[in-house]
Amino acid sequence: MNKGKFSRTARACYAGIVNQAIITNVTALLFVSFIELYNFSYIKLGMLTAVNFAAQMCADFLLIFLIDRVSFRKLAVFSCTLSFAGLLFYGCVPFLFSEKGLFTGIVCATTVFAFAGGMSEVVLSNIADNIPRLENSVSICLLKTVYAWAQVGLVAVCAVFLTVFGSESWNYLMFGFALIPLGAAVLVGGAAVVKKSGISKPKSSFHLFYILALVAIFLGYGSEIAANQWISVFATAALGVGGEWSEFVGMGLFAVCLGVGGLTYVAISKRKEHFPLPVLIFAALSTCALFLLSSVTENVIFALVTSVCCGLFVGVLSPGIMTVASENMPSAGAWMIASLAVCADLGAAALPSAAGSIAELTGIRTAYLTMSVAPFLCAAVLFVMHRMNKKNASVNFTDTFFPV
């Protein structure tokens, strides 16, 4: 097989995942600017986060029923083009809305680009997952690693731009960012795209392994987003920096660890025929241990280090679970990754919100202590999946879960 056949496909997937990093994180990096410029309350900022994940969740849910009926290429081009339009809209909000209507405009723009980003992430993940393994150019786990390094770059670009040009120029950043999904749309339009044949219907796939994968990704991705969102609290206390710089430093360090951890796990998985579930179990338990250390230590520097190091382990959970599910249920259609993405977004909305409520009542350390339960339960679920995997190793796993 021509190894260069899927190089353009890989570049399209990389561009799309960079766009997803922008969509998911850019508004959070602008929170301090929005407070200073527009006097947004914490409730409004929380609403922006909720709208972002809700829109992504709606896209994921829609794709469960749509993705196996429409070509991947058409869906990818549409979603990337819509993301381009949404980011342009975001940049034009200060010009189109008065001060009183500004929040409404930001919500509308967020809905558009978040919906598009959620759709493109799932579609491009399926495209990457269907690239023949011999190509060895891109995988779901590698896309997650690219996402992490894109987040590092996003933090750096936002920090430099807002420092040089001022917070009031935030919207001009969006015009530059909009070029990335546009490039992804152009790339995927001429890329080689493979789609599975002989797929099973969703109603035939509600077996224990699949249900456990849904639970595991809910807990795993929820733990990641909770750790990512609360890292700035420790950065503020440990480094003595406040405002937007605490967000930049905290999220930047966490993203670096996500990237390093992702590269490590990609290297490990390349040596195996199938993605090793024990690696995921180890990652979940390590995340639990670091959550516990962050909660009990009195040294704020050590708490920052342990919470940052969570990124080395927690970031592999969601892409690893998707990969394991795809490998062990090969007859499932693209709808399966879409359904896993829905549960991931549910975890991303529920667990950080719970952590915030606990932190508001009893403090951030108690929140981390409580949140350590999530990766522990994730490890327990993954262990059961591993036992099922070993038990079915001597039989045809596809026939076990997708009987004719």
What span, in angstroms and rounded, lies between the C-alpha atoms of 353 and 367? Answer: 11
CB within 8 A of 66, min separation 6: which ones?
75
Give the CA-trace dihedral at 85, 88, 94, 95, to 10 degrees: -90
Q: What pLDDT does 236 receive? A: 67
At 89, is the secondary structure helix, strand, or coil?
helix
Q: Which H or E run contains 53?
A: helix 42-66
Total number of residues shown for the chain: 404
Flag residues of the chain having pLDDT under 50. Answer: 1-2, 134, 136, 204, 394-404
Tokens of 134: 């011999």
Q: What pLDDT does 244 receive? A: 59
Other beta carbons within 10 angstroms of residue 239's beta carbon come to: 16
Cβ(126)–Cβ(64) below 8 Å: no
What span, in angstroms and rounded, lies between the C-alpha atoms of 341 and 336? Answer: 9
Residue whose C-alpha is closest to residue 329's, from 198, 205, 216, 196:
205
Q: What pLDDT does 330 receive? A: 61
Alpha helices in 132-242 (DSSP H): 140-165, 170-177, 179-189, 208-239
Cβ(19)–Cβ(82) below 8 Å: no
Q: Read out DSSP for 213-236?
A: HHHHHHHHHHHHHHHHHHHHHHHH
Alpha carbon distances (Å) from 301 to 55, 242, 266, 304, 367: 36, 15, 30, 5, 18
Residue whose C-alpha is closest to residue 188's, from 125, 115, 134, 135:
125
Q: What pLDDT does 206 receive? A: 57
Q: Is 390 exposed, middle or buried (0-12, 13-18, 19+ CB in 10 A)?
A: exposed
Q: What pLDDT does 273 receive? A: 56
